[in-house]
Copies of this chain bind each other. A is one copy, B any other.
Amino acid sequence: MLRLLLGGGGHAPEPRRTVFIEATKAFLGKIVDQVLFIPYALENYDRYLEIIRELGLDAGYHLEGIHLSENPLDAVTEAQAIYVGGGNTFRLLHTLQEKQLMSTIKARTQDGLPYIGVSAGTNIVCPTIATTNDMPIVWPQDLRALDLVPFQINPHFVSGTAHYMVDGILVPYAGETREDRLKEYHEMNDRPILAMSEGSVLCVEGKTASLVGDTSWARLFRKRQDPQDYTPRDSLDFLLS
């Protein structure tokens, strides 16, 4: 049975942090004690592990960095659970492809290995990484990702025009809004996009899917349809079929 716990990004501040930690505990339960942490989306793997521990985002589980294992493929094969951190999605996918870990992560997750992803780690469970917000600093062999769910996710979803501080005043950005970018995706592609707000958590268990925790909400963008908002009260099972 597929088991995914997917964070929309931005989980460090309270009360989002509490929601993420409680969701992780509920998801992994007491059977798991060690979790394989995959930090490839950032440059400094050791520092990344430290930050996760400092913030308590390990939820009390023992995280083992995959970069510290002699054979990363064996580490995936033997893991009780995996946790793929955020950063740059292109770098994450490129590194997983380069280390030939994609097919094993996919097969084990399909067989029920609990998978936790945050931001970039959430992007890569989708069919492709075409709805990442990241800069293409490196070119993966392929934009296809783990393809564990049949829809796209846009993490760190924010609506409307960004504002930036210029000479002490917040001024509007003239470039594309997030909505513009997701509309452009649908000009070239068909899959629905679940745009997950910062601090939101999505839980997939077999054929069921729902948001969890009171900091969670998401907006679903479908081609040529008005977007629709979802909260933890709503079933998202329909996205899996």
Contact = CB atoms under 8 A, between A and B. Distances in A.
Interface string A200-212: 0000000000000
Contacts of A164: 158-163
Contact of A9 (B133, B135, B174): B174
Contact of A130 (B136, B175, B176): B136
A137 interface: yes
A153 B161 CA distance: 23
A150 interface: no
A133 B175 contact: yes
Interface string A48-85: 00000000000000000000000000000000000000
A185 B134 CA distance: 11
Given A133-B135, A136-B136, A173 B181 contact: no
Considering residues A43, A129, A137, which has the most beta carbons from chain B within 10 angstroms of its beta carbon? A137
A240 interface: no
30 contacts: A9-B174, A10-B173, A88-B184, A91-B188, A119-B175, A129-B136, A130-B136, A130-B137, A130-B139, A134-B176, A135-B184, A137-B185, A137-B187, A137-B189, A138-B188, A138-B189, A139-B143, A155-B175, A156-B173, A158-B162, A158-B164, A160-B164, A160-B165, A162-B162, A162-B163, A162-B164, A163-B163, A163-B170, A173-B198, A174-B199
Interface of A: 9-10, 12-13, 43, 87-88, 91, 119, 129-139, 143, 155-156, 158-165, 170, 173-176, 181-182, 184-185, 187-189, 198-199
